Structure formats: C-alpha cells, structure tokens
Amino acid sequence: MNSLGKNAKSSKQDKARNVPQTALPPERNNSKFMNADRALAKGIGYGVGAGACWGIVFLGPALTPGLSGAGFAVLRFVCYGLIAVVLLAPRWRRVVPRLTKADWFSLFWLSLIGNLFYYSLVGTGVQNAGIATTSMIVGLIPVLVALAGRKDSNAVPLVRIAPALGCATFGVALISLNALLSGEKSDTTHAGLGLLCAFGALLSWSWFAVANARRLAVADVSSHDWSLLMGLMTGAQALLFAVPVLANDPNTHTFADWLHFLAVAAGVALIASIIGGALWNQASRLLPLALSGQVIVVEVIAALSFGFLWEQRFPSLVEIFAVALLVIGVVWCLLSHQEKRPTL
C-alpha cells in the first residue's frame, strides 16, 4: 500500500511538472499594448504641442526687423532665464542636489548650442532669407535625428521609415526651392547669408535633439525641472553676451523700440522656451528618438502658418503641395512606429 501510494503521489507530481504554464489572460496582453499605445499617443501629443509653440520663434525676428538675430536671441533668453528663476526657486533645494557634474556639463552645452547659438542663427536666417526658407531648412531636422537614432534599441528599422523620410524631405526641398525662386529676398548676398545660417541652425538643433533626449533618459529630474534648469543656464549665458552684442548693434533705437523688442522677446520666451520646452522634454521621454524627430515637423507647419498670417496671404499651390508631402511623410512615419499587435 505504501509503495502504491508513493507511486501514485510520484505520478501526480510528474503530471504537475508536465502541465504547461497557463498563458497570461488576453486582457493582460491587451492592457500591455494599450499602455504602450497610450504612452505613444501622449508622447505625440506633447511633441505636437511643442512644435506649435516653437513655430512662433520664426515669427519673433520678423516682428523685430531693427534688431539683429543675435540681439533678439539674447533678449529672448534673458527673459527665459528670469522666468525660469521665478518658477524654479520654490523647488531649488529639492532639484539641485539630484544633479551630477555630467548633468551640469550637459546643461551648459545644450543651452549654448541648442538655445543661444541655434536661435541666433535662426534669427539671422529669417531676417536675410525669410521665414519660409529658414523654417523649411530647419524642417530637415527630423531626417537627421532619425538617422542619428537608427541604432537605438527601440528605433524602427530605417528601411521601414525611408519612404516617409523621403516624402518629407521632398516636401521640404520643394517649398525651399519655391521660396528661393519667388524672390522673397532680392539681395543675393543677404539670401546666401540667410541660407548658411539656416543650415547652421539645422545642424546645431539636430545635435541638441539627440543629446538632450539621451541626457534626459539618465537625469534624475523631471522634464519640467530640466527645462527650467536649461532656461537658467541659457539666461546666464545670454547675460554674458548681452553687453557686447547689444552695444555693437549698428542701429539706433528709441525707448519705444526697446519696449517693443522686450515685449516680443518675453512672449517668445514664455510660449516657446518655457511651455514648448517642457512639452518637448515630456515627448523626449515617451517617444523613440527617431519618432521624436519627426514630431518637430509640426514646428515647420506652425511657422509657415504664422508666416502666411503675418504676410496676409494664402499659400500658393506649390506651397500647399509641399506641405501636403510633409504631412504625408509625418503620418506615414507615425504609422510605422505603431507596435504591431499579435493575433489573439
């Protein structure tokens, strides 16, 4: 009896070992993919909001034609720094101890190259080559960012997004060529300077988008606090450049002119730097690097819209076709990043 009992018990144990583990309920799998889709949707929403806020940066220099691009950049980031100080002060003791030397080092170079240097180039480009040309050249940022992020673990293979990138690039090239041939700026020297500055801005912000996303992935601070810290750093840098840049301005300005410059700079600082920066940092945490670069295209569309409103005209057929290609490329890329669900 004891032997039979042992054999029966052993047989039950063997059967228990051979029983396959029950698969997770379909509801849990669905929940996993729903959470991933929700995070992706939130990231896209943040990125679109950031792009819309950033579109105004191309309008700012056009509203202040009497001030150099570098001069307007200095004023904008001094205002940005002051706003950041006020917003960061209540959390200063809690945020600063979390920063490492590497964080401060990154903040310095990200602020200098991605904010002050980039926007000086954008302002000079807008004033010499026009809003359309400058914004569309800067619109090539998604292409460079996608190429830079192609080796990331969560990046979509380049083969899958190549057609989308090609479509967006063709749209950018078409509208840029149209802007150049339309005689927006008749002075060839000024137009050439504007183009050089626009391509310089393209390179500087492409580097910023990649470096900032990778630093945020390891920094122990919130996206909002990181944006404010960058504002503080950029404001300090702008103060150092303020005297030499503004003192060497060849134009003479009245007190009313300076009030106008400051009002425009403060508005751009609040909308683009504070609100747009916070939205972008949230997007950088939630989106793959290649996809976050695509969302920047919204900035170009917003900039063109602001430009058409400022010029009080409707876009031409060529411009409409080019923007359509740009939008198709972006939507195509978004669909390429949707995670494929398994068949249940």
Quickly tell me which residue has 């100080």 as its tokens.
Answer: 85
Q: What is the mean pLDDT of residues 331-335?
A: 72
Taking only the tens place, the pLDDT of each residue in 110-166 is 999 999 999 999 999 988 888 888 887 887 777 777 777 666 666 677 788 788 888
Query: What does the pLDDT read at residue 90?
Result: 93
Taking only the tens place, the pLDDT of each residue in 277-326 is 888 878 877 877 666 656 667 887 888 888 888 888 888 888 888 888 87
Query: What does the pLDDT read at residue 51?
Result: 86
Query: What does the pLDDT read at residue 204?
Result: 94
Nearest to 263, CA basis, from 54, 24, 63:
63
d(CA 16, CA 51): 57
Query: What does the pLDDT read at residue 186?
Result: 52
Q: Structure tokens of 236?
A: 């300090």
Q: Structure tokens of 5?
A: 């009992």
183: left (phi over 0), alpha (psi -120 to 50) or beta: left
Collapsing DSSP states into helix, strand and coil, what is residue 23? Answer: coil
Cα dist from 148 to 91, 158, 173, 299, whole Å = 34, 11, 20, 20
- Summary mean pLDDT of the chain: 80
Q: How many alpha carbons fall within 13 Å on the CB side of residue 56?
A: 19
Q: What is the mean pLDDT of residues 196-205?
A: 92
Query: What does the pLDDT read at residue 233?
Result: 96
d(CA 114, CA 206): 9
Query: What does the pLDDT read at residue 320?
Result: 87
